[in-house]
């Protein structure tokens, strides 16, 4: 009927979290290859992660590093070779060079375009289809109307993020490392991983006014401060024909994916069963408590990403 997915960066996250609400797991942190035991950069961890996901009856998608430089290519290629020996259900790429690598290796594994593939139009989606891409994650700046147009006018599956912080910027360098006293650079192989703690970029009076905004920095990737939330709009998403939904779990507590996933599983099941106008108040209360900076709708309703618009 529908697929609900989320992400787990390493085996510890996969073991410690409750992922029972999900049909599929994106394995790896595509932003930082130095992250501890990252599936996206540790070929020797792939089999263990894959087997755990499969033992739970879920699909396993492997995320490849989003911004590889030429000096990264040897280990990225080794990771891909190791992954091709296993039974992953898809590879997620953000980089057209890696898409070409998969073609050259004659991979038959489905390919998903990740968020930093920067897909804005249905014409791009149609072109990517010719290169073996079966699913796309549209750019977060697109409205629901624009995403629906892409889904309706291209022969490709669209992954719709429904909850969590919005990925905004990715970099080869670590912002936290550059601005943390006594930190050890990852290049020396002895990163102190200050990113394991929360880091926020804030401006304003902290009074809830439009002057306030916040971002969360995870080192090499910057996310929105607020959690994008569409739980009140599940009926509309189903009516628009979406069937693949995603919860962003990067940098969250171990219980985040489980609690959010259970809410969206219930909301989507009700919506697909035609049970409209569910009382979302308890869900919104719990989701709001999980978000330090509050909830928003991202850019889905053609706003600037900070506001929350309810169903009514």
Residue 219 Cα to chain centre, angstroms:
16
Cα distance between residue 23 and residue 2, in whole Å: 9
Q: Is the dihedral of CA 258, 25, 233, 301 positive or negative?
A: positive
Name the superfamily (CATH) of residues 3-163+229-280: Aldolase class I (3.20.20.70)
Select from 285, 224, 214 the least CA-distant residue to 252.
224
| pLDDT recorded at residue 208 | 62
Q: Is 289 exposed, middle or buried (0-12, 13-18, 19+ CB in 10 A)?
A: exposed
pLDDT greater than 90 at residue 24: yes
Question: 161-211, pLDDT tens digit by residue?
Answer: 999 999 998 888 887 677 666 655 554 556 767 777 777 777 876 666 666
Give me the mean pLDDT over the 33-48 stretch.
95
**Judging by DSSP bridges, how do beta strands 200-203 and 167-170 pair with one another?**
unpaired
pLDDT bucket at 140, cuts 50 / 70 / 90: very high
Cα distance between residue 310 and residue 127, in whole Å: 36
pLDDT greater than 70 at residue 39: yes
Cα distance between residue 7 and residue 13, in whole Å: 9
Higher pLDDT: 206 or 54? It is: 54
Question: 64-101, pLDDT tens digit by residue?
Answer: 999 999 999 999 999 999 999 999 999 999 999 999 99
249 token code pair: 């779990």
Give me the mean pLDDT over the 52-67 stretch.
98
Percent of the chain with pLDDT over 70: 92
Cα distance between residue 1 and residue 270, in whole Å: 12
Q: What is the 3-state secondary structure (H, E, C) of 165-183?
A: CCEEEECCCCHHHHCCCCC
Higher pLDDT: 131 or 276? It is: 131
Phi (first) and psi of residue 27, to 5 degrees: -90, 125
| pLDDT recorded at residue 1 | 87
| pLDDT recorded at residue 94 | 97
What integer best gives the mean pLDDT of the chain?
91
Cα distance between residue 199 and residue 277, in whole Å: 37
Entry pTM: 0.93
Q: Give residue limits of the domains in the chain.
A: 3-163+229-280
> Tokens 């992250």 — which residue?
35
């Amino acid at each position: 009927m529908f697929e609900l997915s989320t992400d787990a960066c390493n085996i510890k996250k996969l073991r410690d979290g409750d992922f029972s609400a999900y049909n599929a797991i994106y394995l790896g942190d595509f932003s930082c290859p130095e992250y501890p035991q990252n599936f996206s950069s540790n070929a020797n961890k792939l089999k263990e992660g894959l087997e755990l996901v499969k033992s739970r009856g879920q699909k396993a998608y492997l995320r490849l590093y989003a911004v590889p430089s030429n000096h990264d290519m040897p280990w990225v290629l080794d990771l891909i070779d190791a992954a091709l020996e296993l039974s992953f259900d898809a590879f997620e790429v953000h980089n057209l060079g890696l898409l070409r690598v998969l073609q050259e290796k004659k991979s038959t594994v489905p390919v998903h375009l990740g968020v930093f593939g920067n897909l804005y139009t249905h014409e791009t989606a149609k072109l990517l289809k010719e290169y073996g891409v079966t699913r796309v994650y549209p750019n977060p700046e697109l409205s629901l109307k624009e995403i629906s147009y892409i889904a309706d006018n291209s022969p490709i599956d669209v992954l719709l993020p429904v909850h969590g912080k919005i990925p905004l910027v990715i970099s080869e360098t670590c912002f936290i490392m550059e601005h943390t006293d006594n930190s050890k650079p990852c290049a020396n192989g002895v990163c102190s991983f200050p990113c394991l703690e929360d880091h926020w970029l804030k401006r304003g009076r902290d009074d809830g006014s439009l002057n306030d905004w916040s971002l969360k920095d995870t080192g090499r990737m910057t996310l929105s401060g607020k959690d994008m939330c569409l739980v009140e709009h599940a009926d509309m998403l189903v009516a628009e024909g979406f069937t693949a939904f995603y919860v962003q779990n990067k940098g969250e507590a171990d219980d985040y994916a489980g609690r959010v996933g259970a809410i969206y599983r219930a909301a989507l099941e009700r919506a697909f069963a035609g049970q409209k106008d569910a009382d979302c108040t308890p869900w919104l209360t719990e989701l709001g408590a999980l978000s330090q900076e509050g909830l928003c709708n991202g850019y889905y309703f053609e706003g600037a990403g900070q506001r929350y618009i309810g169903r009514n």
